[in-house]
Amino acid sequence: MNISAPFIQRPIATTLMAAAVLLAGIVAFLFLPVAPLPRIDYPTISVWAGLPGASPETMASAVATPLERRFSRIAGVTELTSSSSLGSTQIQLQFELDRNIDRAARDVQAAIAAAAGELPANMPWRPGYWKVNPSDPAILVLALRSDTLPLSQVADAAESIVAQKIAQVPGVGQVFNGGDITPAVRVQVDPAALAGMGMGLEDVRKVLEQATIEQPKGSLAGAHQVHSLAANDQLFGAKQFEPLVLAHRDGATVRLSDVARVIDGVDDNRLAAWANTKPAIPIFVRRQAGANIIEVISRVKALLPRLSESISPAIEVSILADRSQTIRASVRDVEHTWILSVALVVLVVFAFLRSPSWPRSA
């Protein structure tokens, strides 16, 4: 029995079946997951905690250890690693493959809240977490620059508007500023002058800490009215810090400007970034584990025109790196290969049948 005989005898049914298989293949091709490498994405959450000025040993013992103790109680954790440096601690939690990343993030958030009482009280901000793998490179890198505005204003727009909006895009795991130049007041103390006054660096730190703090002052209660007391104790700019009184020595007042140089600078003067030989603020976008790279990048690119309208027209937003370009090129190559394979199959069948139409049955 010839296996091809039923298909030759029923050309219309064979044509409909071939069209159905072709349509099913096209639909399945559109839903295929796309990634640069085979998808083995372990649910990973990265936790960061900061304590400015703390040594790596202090960060490991006072910050990393309490957090690790809480994280180790979370179900499904397969690997827990931490790295402590000057003023910061990075903790990576890797979960089982079948662990839902959103549920794991809720457990991590609860563990951070439970460890709050064990962390140092002088931490300026509580630890934060991101649903990303630190080893994964950024899928998209943007650059913000301006020819007229100072870079500090560009950085403020990048942090408060652009990064916040991109972080809300589905599939985005982390958005961070690579060239942070947050405005800050820098105090450069002269150790020799300070020692000559019989003072130490701790004395200067206490004065600075107490001089720019905003706390409730209380209230005045009467028989019929209550008045709350409020005062703005925060200082802005180097000129406001210079007259601060550090101590009184031999009837003379020692001010901050006598033993230190106070300047308006940035939070970290060791960071800088350039885009096409011009100073810029880069923004790195990372995806969540399991998110489709092409879809996430497409959503972010679709958001860029609205983001440009939300910031100053003097700020230019450009794309420095896009990982989807190589992936799209590979997909196009697969599509071309697929079309060529279909054409070759049709030509081979035509060569064997030696006729452009179906042969008629006897």
Whether the Cβ atoms of residue 262 and residue 241 lie closer than 8 Å to each other: yes
Superfamily of domain 41-134: Multidrug efflux transporter AcrB pore domain (3.30.70.1430)
Strand runs (DSSP E) across 250-310, as ranges? 252-255, 260-266, 274-275, 278-279, 281-287
Q: Once rounded to an integer, what is the mean pLDDT over residues 235-246?
A: 83
Among the listed ranges 92-106, 263-277, 337-351, which one has the minimum average pLDDT value? 263-277
Whether the Cβ atoms of residue 148 and residue 134 lie closer than 8 Å to each other: no
pLDDT at 193 over 80: yes
Report how far residue 274's alpha carbon sits from residue 192's, in angstroms, rounded to the nearest whole number. Answer: 38
Handedness of CA 106, 89, 297, 95 (dihedral sign): negative
* pTM over cut 0.85: no
One-letter amino acid of 17? M
Token pair for residue 256?
């901050």
Token pair for residue 202?
């701790």
The band of 19, judged by pLDDT with boundaries at 50, 70 and 90, is confident
- Domain residue extents for the chain: 41-134, 183-211+234-266, 323-356
Q: Which CATH code for domain 183-211+234-266? A: 3.30.2090.10
pLDDT at 358 over 60: no
* Phi, psi for 253 (deg, rounded to 5): -95, 125
Q: Once rounded to an integer, what is the mean pLDDT over residues 102-110?
A: 90
The average confidence (pLDDT) of the chain is 82
One-letter amino acid of 197? M
Neighbour count for residue 59 (Cβ, 10 Å): 24
Q: Dump the DSSP string for 43-64.
A: -EEEEEEE-TT--HHHIIIIII
Token pair for residue 358?
């179906």
pLDDT at 360 over 60: no
DSSP state, 259?
A: H
Helix (H) or strand (E) holding 358: none
Buried b or exposed e, range 143-170, using 16+ CB within 10 angstroms: bbbbeeeebebbbbbbbebbbebbeebe
pLDDT at 126 over 70: yes
DSSP state, 117?
A: G
Among the listed ranges 54-58, 60-64, 189-193, 289-293, which one has the minimum average pLDDT value? 289-293
Helix (H) or strand (E) holding 184: strand 183-189
Q: Once rounded to an integer, what is the mean pLDDT over residues 170-180?
A: 80
Whether the Cβ atoms of residue 311 and residue 153 lie closer than 8 Å to each other: no
Q: How many residues does the chain have?
A: 362
CA 75 vs CA 26, 101, 134, 173: distances in Å: 41, 12, 21, 22
The band of 362, judged by pLDDT with boundaries at 50, 70 and 90, is very low
CA 60 vs CA 29, 41, 103, 140, 265: distances in Å: 49, 28, 27, 32, 30
